[in-house]
Structure 1
Amino acid sequence: MGRRRRLREVHLQHGVLPGRAGFRAARRPGPSAGEGGTPLSPNLAGRVAAAFALGAQARTSDVGELVTAFPHAYYPESSWEGDLELGATQLALAARELDDPRATGWARDAAKWAKTYIAGDDKSTLNLYDTSALAHADLAGLLRTGVPGAALGVRELAADLRRQLDTGAERAEKSPFRTAVDVTDFDAASKSFGFAATARLYQRVTGDPRYAAFGARQRDFTLGANAWGVSLVVGVGATFPQCPHHQAANLAGPSKVLYGAVVNGPNGADNFADLPFPAGAKECTRPDESFNGQGSRYADDPSSWPSNEPAIDFTSTALLAFSLAGTS
């Protein structure tokens, strides 16, 4: 009873009790590596060391098809220079915190891969397949402190962030909802949050707020300012997905287990042809699709995975955009 009482006191302190909204979100598990300065748990230490060792073995010429998922078409990633830029940047930042003499070398590596990415043809905007915006923003901070022999400077990084934002801004000008993403293609929510995050990153790097309104509109699109009037974040807004393509949510109700999860959103109408109803799923449908059109569709039922399946990458990009909005 003592442990239960202590748990209840903690829940009361934070305003979350079983049965109340946000209870499960507040109690999501997270790993702990111990107090600062204490030895790491050996399993975590081994895995982190293995990740660094694998990074040192990366192929950087004649790369060919990247390893993502099988079949490759499921997650067809082709951009990789930005990933190496991001990895080298984070190594340099960590090394500087620890006074590790390798920091400058890693920062130079990051600048080299940034220059390679910018000069290449395989460029996109912030989403599951392209992390260059994150890398550019952190690398810019490193370069400002001085990196002898760096292959580029802050100006080039800022210009590429502008390129990414201009890509969306030009498309948004032609959309009645000022939407930067193609609502007949996958990843509408994720890419919208990516634009919102990149607008904040650009302002952090340059101090220039010119894309602030654009970024806010892309965030608003995911929160219901769209043709369907539906928030793509479960539990947020007056209207949000009630019948997601998710086993546990189908059985228990989406707001109980998926609070904060992000679904794909509108997608190409052709992607919904002949979708089977998941075996064993509870019947659930929100039949009003009166706003579908122009080759795009959003459907709120368990079979409609092209528009209504939550995903970790969608949600993580949303968390990034929201956190940047809250701290900038």
Structure 2
Amino acid sequence: MERFVFFGGKGGVGKTTVSSAYAYRCADAGLETLVVSTDPAHSVGDLFDQEFGDDPRPVEGVEGLSAMEIDPETEVSRHLMDVKRKLSDQVSAAMVNEVDRQIEMAHGTPGAYEAALFDRFVDVMRESDPYDRVVFDTSPTGGTLRLLSLPEFLEGWIDRLAAKRRQSIDLFEKAAIGNLEPRRVMEGDPVLAHLQERKEFFEYAGETLRNEAAFFLVFNPDSLSIRETGRAIDQLRERGLEVRGLVANRLTPEPDPDENGRGACYLRSRVETERERLETAKAELEPPVVAELETHVEEIRGERLGSVGDELEIETAPGA
């Protein structure tokens, strides 16, 4: 199995439980494991009855397992402040107020959330040397897909920005000294240096996601969840990212044969419907179903995650 494992899916299908259960299983297999929540719901702490923050923290009572919860709002603010600082270093004093205004406007614009969160989880991947396995409990499918598509779009965008910057320097220098060979200011230009740094950042992200990451999608046995899972598979494939397997979660348990009351009849009918939908998913969706998890009466927390992890037919061994 690859070092980085992502669990995605429609909101509310149980990604946090599944990803935490898999992380628990990896730790139980002797791997130093980190589970990272990028979901605004922040439920990893609830599962382990422990508070987590922006830095990895050992999970109490589970040897070899650490967890962290990334707060999206905090990341957006931090990301934009970093942009503001770098811009302020490059512009005149008269432009600083305009920079501040534009940064404030950017806080609520489409894409700010994805850009900030993407930077943070790529940082997590780059700083993951202490861990054998990093498991990401990602945000709902739409946000995750936008997040994972950033390297593809931004690498080319940065190339175009760098080309425009070089052209601007060239024209400025020629205007300043006449139509002669421009001076070599490009070699020390801080804007070009930052663009190159960002390009390398996105190249690393794209290469790592394609070569060192495995993707699994969690779905529930209902038509809407299955259709959205199918769309997610297609969209990830378009970006060169193959889904390794599917986890069917929250299947209704079948009542005992001797139960014939109204509740039992309802459950049997529901089980039959869910089984039909599950068979549809197996027939129509290309990746294999690697687990069929029934709904539990009791909450799945702490040590109970181990039993759920045992039901996941997903390798834990590195490189498996």
TM range (shorter): under 0.3
- Which one has the largest radius of gyration? 2
More helix by share: 2
More strand by share: 2
